[in-house]
Amino acid sequence: MNQEKAIATPSKTKEILQKHGFSFKKSLGQNFLIDTQILKNIIHHAGIDKETGAIEIGPGMGALTEQLAIHADEVVAFEIDQRLVPILKETLQGYDNVSIINKDILEADIQKEIEEHFKKGQPVKIVANLPYYITTPILMKLLMEKLPISSITVMIQKEVAERMAASPSSKSYGSLSIAVQYYTDAKVVMNVPKTVFMPQPNVDSSVLHLTLREEPPVQVEDENYFFDLVQASFAQRRKTLNNNLARHFAETYTKQEIAELIKQADIEGSRRGEALSMEEFARLANTFYRKGLD
């Protein structure tokens, strides 16, 4: 690929923006990448090859899409901004393995698009530079729909990536860490400075690589109940489990009963949520859930 021709250079990006009179929409969190090497590193970390079907979210002007088209078998890109569709058709006209779908990813039937665009049994991976303001809803939709995908590699706000990959007893660890790690093995694979975007965002980014698990690492009686209890345990970070859960279950159990149930799960009620492993949370949620069935 000729570096001069790549979309992800400052001069080429400016040229496309001027030609189409395109103005960035702050409400859509649009920041376009202008560094080809970083894009190639993302492709590498995502493990994209000619066997792979790739799904992209928010292709923008096609900088990452172009690299995906070069390295993957087939690419499906969801773009919410109608103004970008004609620009993408032009910037990607040399590639016949790209389909642009003008839809909001949060409303799209991704399962249907996978069946329509990829070969049966083909490994499918999601690769995206996600808008900061909507990262968590998008990722949770992708994970909870249990799609036939093997991995998700996304560039997101550095702080959010750290939270998603955090271990117990670290300041970034919270309910989001547990939600993401319940479905995936999460790793931050590279950090990206804000200087390689146009316009520059206010914060640095990281690339988070999520490998989908075949089975969750813990057995829970009820997933929704589990996630609900985890969130309640972090409701006020500085408070103990006894306090947070007493507040959450105020209408169901007395403080004494809550303390007993925590003890029954073989956990100290004086600990904080941030100190508990996922296994401990599963034990806690299952104990409370079974009690509710009595």
Taken in order of first residue, the domains within the chain and their CATH numbers are: 10-212 (3.40.50.150), 223-293 (1.10.8.100)
Is-above-0.85 flag for pTM? yes
The pLDDT value recorded for residue 11 is: 77
222 is in an annotated binding site: no
269 is in an annotated binding site: no
The pLDDT value recorded for residue 30 is: 65
79 is in an annotated binding site: yes
The pLDDT value recorded for residue 173 is: 97
Q: Are 117 and 99 in contact (CB under 8 A)?
A: yes
Instruction: Give the N- to C-terminal CA distance of the chain in Å, as an integer.
Output: 65
DSSP code string of the chain: --TTT-SSSHHHHHHHHHHHT----GGGT--EE--HHHHHHHHHHHT--TT-EEEEE--TTTHHHHHHHHHSSEEEEE---TTHHHHHHHHTTT-SSEEEE-S-TTTS-HHHHHHHHS-TT--EEEEEE--GGGHHHHHHHHHHTT-S-SEEEEEEEHHHHHHHHPPTTSTT-SHHHHHHHHHEEEEEEEEE-GGGEES--SS-EEEEEEEEPSS-SS--S-HHHHHHHHHHHTSSTTSBHHHHHHHHTTTTS-HHHHHHHHHHTT--TTSBGGG--HHHHHHHHHHHHHHHH-
Average pLDDT per consecutive 10 residues, the chain (294 residues; last block may be shorter): 61 75 61 86 97 95 94 96 91 95 96 96 95 90 95 96 96 96 98 86 92 96 96 95 96 94 97 97 97 84
List the strands of the sheet with 53-57, edge to edge. Answer: 98-101, 74-78, 53-57, 124-129, 151-157, 205-212, 184-192
191 is in an annotated binding site: no
Of 169, 217, 210, 163, which is closest to residue 187 (Cα–Cα)?
210
The pLDDT value recorded for residue 199 is: 77
- The number of CA neighbours under 13 Å toward the Cβ of 182 is 25
Percent of the chain with pLDDT over 90: 78
Instruction: Please write the tens of the pLDDT for every residue from 206-244.
Output: 999 999 999 999 999 999 999 999 999 999 989 999 999
The pLDDT value recorded for residue 25 is: 62
The pLDDT value recorded for residue 22 is: 67
The pLDDT value recorded for residue 166 is: 97
Q: How many Cβ atoms from other residues are within 10 Å of residue 274's Cβ?
A: 18
33 is in an annotated binding site: yes
260 is in an annotated binding site: no
The pLDDT value recorded for residue 32 is: 78
